[in-house]
Amino acid sequence: MKRITDLEKKYVLDALDNEFATSKNSIYTNKMESKFAEIFKHDFCISHVNGTATMHTALHALGVNKGDEVIVPPLTMSSTSLCVLQNGSTPVFADVDKETFNIDPKSIREKITDKTKAIITVALYGLSPEYDEILQICKEHNLFLIEDNAECFLGYYKNKLVGTFGDFSSYSFQASKHISCGEGGMLTTNNEEYANKARRFTSLGYAGVSAKQGKITRNDIQDPNYNRHVAVGFNYRMSEVQSAVILGQLERIKELVNQRLEVAKLFDEAIEGSTLVTKQHTPKYCINSYWAYSMILNTDTPQTSWYEFRDLFQKNGGDGYYAAWKLTYEEPLFKDVIQNQEGITQKYEEGLCPNAEFLQKRMIQLKTNYWDLDEAKEQAAILKKTLAEFKR
């Protein structure tokens, strides 16, 4: 199986043949956004340069302002928190569940103040958070919900597609994701007012764009009295060439996601019966789309065992594995710089999110983006061998 096929190449060449002509611009972007809306069950899809800009746009469109607090998990890529800072708002970290590794609704409740305006959830590694409880919290406290689905394409929670719960949902097309054009992102919503604000924010605040793209006519743009900008905005737009690649990937998305599910099954078989590792728990009512295969090393000495296990895995022929990201509030930017800014009420120190701290030290992330299943089978066999040989 190839990740990039003749289909994507055909669309890219066609986009290039248009030579970036203004009159033909956005042909592939429009097609791609429409296809995304069809697959992911949304009325409005607004493409972006990446999956961080998407969340910045969402916060702006929802009216989350300076001084407002946004509850986020610390066990994830820092983008989820950086977009809050970029918006002038304050990230507040809630702990995660020790079994699913996702943000814990109980911890969310504990972090709510009169300044809380939104929650950003993350479908970590491809697994949905507990949306029944989270939506109830949002309803009780009148909070916005933004879904960060960078790692979750075609995941399900109680027979409902992940990405259809929030006021906005954000997706990433970065190189490691289920579908990719190298970089890119998508923001989705069913609210036209929010979509209008989001589209303008991504397009320099242009008057001629709206929820469904829109277009500035030649007569308008050549008129010396034309008022272009009606709102604050950035240039977060995705290019035609990127859109052409993603259109091709969307037409193959089930194939691309299913490949990762097959790889995950191989790892399931490899760790079966082992007490050395415990994989991320996927509840029976969820479908995990497995951006990565995650598990923790059951050890009391993670600072040494994690490295020793990885060394043995590589010695046996494994291609290495990844740690979890350092917890966001443990990053130097947060503990040394952001900590000292006005409005920060949390102390970024050990004990802030004990479950996340426990998991991060022990986490093993195995990649699932093997496009050759024979290679994945070999890696699974090496994992099984390493588990059998490793001495705690």
Contact indicator for 1, 256 with CB cutoff of 8 Å: no
CA 329 to chain centre: 18
Phi, psi of 69 (to 5 degrees): -100, 140
Contact indicator for 151, 291 with CB cutoff of 8 Å: yes
* Distance from C-alpha of 365 to C-alpha of 273, rounded to nearest angstrom: 19
User: Please, what is the end-to-end C-alpha distance for the chain in angstroms?
Assistant: 38
Give the residue from 146, 55, 70, 72 showing the smallest Cα distance to 115: 70
The structure tokens listed for 20 are 């970036």
Question: How is 147-174 classified by DSSP, letter by letter?
Answer: EE-TT-SS-EETTEETTSSSSEEEEE-B
DSSP tag of 85: H
Instruction: Tell me the longest C-alpha to C-alpha distance in the chain.
Output: 76
Choosing from 177, 197, 279, 384, the catalytic residue is 177
For 342, the 3-state DSSP assignment is: coil
Strand partners, 69: 90, 116
Q: Taking the alpha carbons of 70, 76, 78, 83 in that order, is the dihedral positive or negative?
A: negative
Strand partners, 363: 296
Q: At what angle do helices 6-17 and 240-250 cross, to 10 degrees?
A: 150
Give the residue from 252, 243, 125 showing the smallest Cα distance to 182: 243
Question: Phi/psi class of residue 225: alpha, beta or left (left: φ > 0; alpha: ψ in -120 to 50)?
Answer: alpha
The beta strand positions in 1-68, using DSSP E, are 44-48
* Distance from C-alpha of 38 to C-alpha of 44, rounded to nearest angstrom: 10
* Distance from C-alpha of 189 to C-alpha of 169, rounded to nearest angstrom: 7
Contact indicator for 194, 167 with CB cutoff of 8 Å: yes
Active site annotation includes 177: yes
Catalytic residue annotation? 177
